[in-house]
Amino acid sequence: MPRKGQTVHPFVREMAREAEAGRISRRDFLRYAGLLGVSAAAAGALFGPAQVLAGTEAGLVHKVEPLSDESPFEIKDLLIKKAEDACARAQKAGESRRFINAGRGNPDFLNTTARKALALLTLFAALAAEEHGETRDLGLRISQKGLSNRLDAFLRGNADAPGAAFLKSAMDHARMNLGMDPDQAAFEIIDAAQGDFYPDPPRILPVTEKIVSEYLNKVLFAGSPPKGRFRLFATEGATAAMVYIFYSLKINKLLAPGDFVAILTPIFTPYLEMPVLKEFGLVNVNVQGDERSGWQIPDSELTKLRDTRIKALFLVNPTNPTSVSLDQDSVSKIARTIRDHNPDCLVVSDTVYSGFVESFFSLCSELPKNVLGVYSFSKYFGVTGWRLGVVMVHEDCVADRLISRLPARDQAGLDFRYRLVSTTPWEIKFIDRLEIDSRDVALAHTGGLSGPQQAAMCLFALFEILDPENEYKKSVTGLLKRRWEALYGALGLTPPEGPQRTRYYALLDLLQLAEAGHGKDFAQALAKQDPLNFLFRLAEEHSMVCLPGQGFAGPRWSIRVCLANVAEKDCAAIGKAVSALLDDYARG
């Protein structure tokens, strides 16, 4: 407690209130307090000693209980440190042990063919620029005229180069199937790879929009998209897409502090954390999936969407962490509920994992005008470092209608904001406002995803388009299935199956495993303990990192295992370690 007469920096008090409200993590609060010279004990006393994290400056020595409210991605850092230290000690003592990190969602697989093609395309772009350069190392911007034929000649001369065959097929498809002049299509992709100009238009290059739209028609709609056109905004992965959407919804008065937003859970943690940040101040209404029905949404939960106070619905489909997509019945029920009872509800639908399932059903199909779709190439093609994503918005989007119905005062304020980029700002569509807002209007003309990123996006999309037998998908899903079977086999379980499963993650319900292995009484006794202790013991005793399912609004005693980043033998090792640790708990 602060001593009598001792003052506490007002910023610390404000941060304490933010921590109590859940708008910042308690670990971050203590860090801020420490920077201002306030001890952990004094800072913690501002919102109760039970909340204090006692420990080192790095937060590595801790009481486990307060961590239950932390983001799983903060807990991950603690687990990694413990697991790495334990592994180093074990190896030093002569024990054979490896550090296994099943906490991060980055895949260890990646598409190589499109990368080879991109390298060759970049080489051609540089050589073409040198043709009219006056000195060594200095090129001039390439000319569009005759560029398609020049690229063909280059590829004939380099037919045996890695990626050449695919690049020729990809460029042939782009030039012949997009309704664009062949030289224009070639120029837009090649100049993008060159990266010598700002993207124009900044929202997305026309050639990128056409190619990615064709790709999404295959991946999201199985070749049968809904009526009307989806316009796209190329973003720095799904992360940027989320940030831009939240920000523009706020700026355009579509979401305001105190508004209710529904969230299909379990879900990727930032969708739970961003709404309650101070700058948004939204109220989360969790719509809970049912574990017993394979994480589909029960009717009793869907009724929450009838409440017209709910202004938006957030979902990840297929989900992270459950690795299950919504079946057709669930998608139809959600769409029908919104259409019949809450037609102005906006839907932010994150479909990052859609490429991994056998049968995918999207709300973009059944409720296209309400959906702000988010897609990323990151997971499927192994390009998390490239940051390749898009937002898709229907040409007749509900967001535009809602903006047109705003009070005159609000519309005038928005017109004043966007006057810098248009003489008719009231005509700017929400999809374009996303790009404009992403650069705070004043820099909108230099916004958008970089040219080389868009060129890469085009080639990855064309790779999938030109794979009618889905050979790449079969390779990726086959890899994940083997890891899935290795994990569940080591647990002594039959692997769950079904066309809605991605197998990218496994969400293990430890209480179910405890009851199956040691009886109901043991499971009930285990449930009274803190589940984070299990994860810290897994890190300490086996040098393995998994994440708490509770942090994704999943079952309290569940853990998320990322199979996309862990070899098959390591998946089996995790299964054995989880079983061994449960046995140890049972022995007392």
Q: Which domains does the chain have, with CATH numbers?
A: 10-48 (no CATH), 74-97+471-587 (3.90.1150.10), 113-197 (1.10.20.110), 206-464 (3.40.640.10)
What pLDDT score was predicted for residue 538? 97
pLDDT averaged over the chain? 91
Whole-number Å distance between alpha carbons of 549 and 565: 18
In this prediction, residues 482-503 reach a mean pLDDT of 97
Residue 348: closest CA among 364, 325, 371: 371
What pLDDT digit, counting tens, does each position of 69-124 carry? 667 877 888 899 999 999 999 999 999 899 999 999 999 999 999 999 999 999 99
Q: What is the pLDDT of residue 3?
A: 40
Instruction: Give, in degrees to the nearest 5, the angle at Cα 424 between 420 and 425.
Output: 55
pLDDT of residue 58: 32
DSSP-derived 3-state class of residue 429: coil
Distance CA(349)–CA(264), nearest Å, equals 10
Cβ atoms of 141 and 184 closer than 8 Å: no
Check residue 520 and give its pLDDT: 97
pTM of the model: 0.88
- Do the beta carbons of residue 367 and residue 317 sit within 8 Å? no
Q: Could you tell me where the beta strands, DSSP code E, fall in 336-494?
A: 346-350, 371-376, 389-394
Q: Are 109 and 479 in contact (CB under 8 A)?
A: yes
pLDDT at position 75: 86
Calpha distance 143→29 (Å, rounded): 56
Round to whole Å and give the CA distance between 186 and 148. 6
Q: What are phi and psi of 390, to 5 degrees?
A: -145, 150
Q: What percent of the chain has pLDDT over 90?
A: 84
pLDDT tens digits along 326-370: 999 999 999 999 999 999 999 999 999 999 999 999 999 999 999
- Distances in Å between the Cα of 556 and the Cα atoms of 33, 297, 529, 552 are 30, 19, 11, 10
**What residues form DSSP beta bridges with 315?**
349
Q: Of 63-77, 147-161, 268-282, 301-315, which range is least confident?
A: 63-77
Place of tokens 């379980």: 493
3-state SS track over 241-266: HHHHHHHHHHHCCCCCCCCEEEEEEC
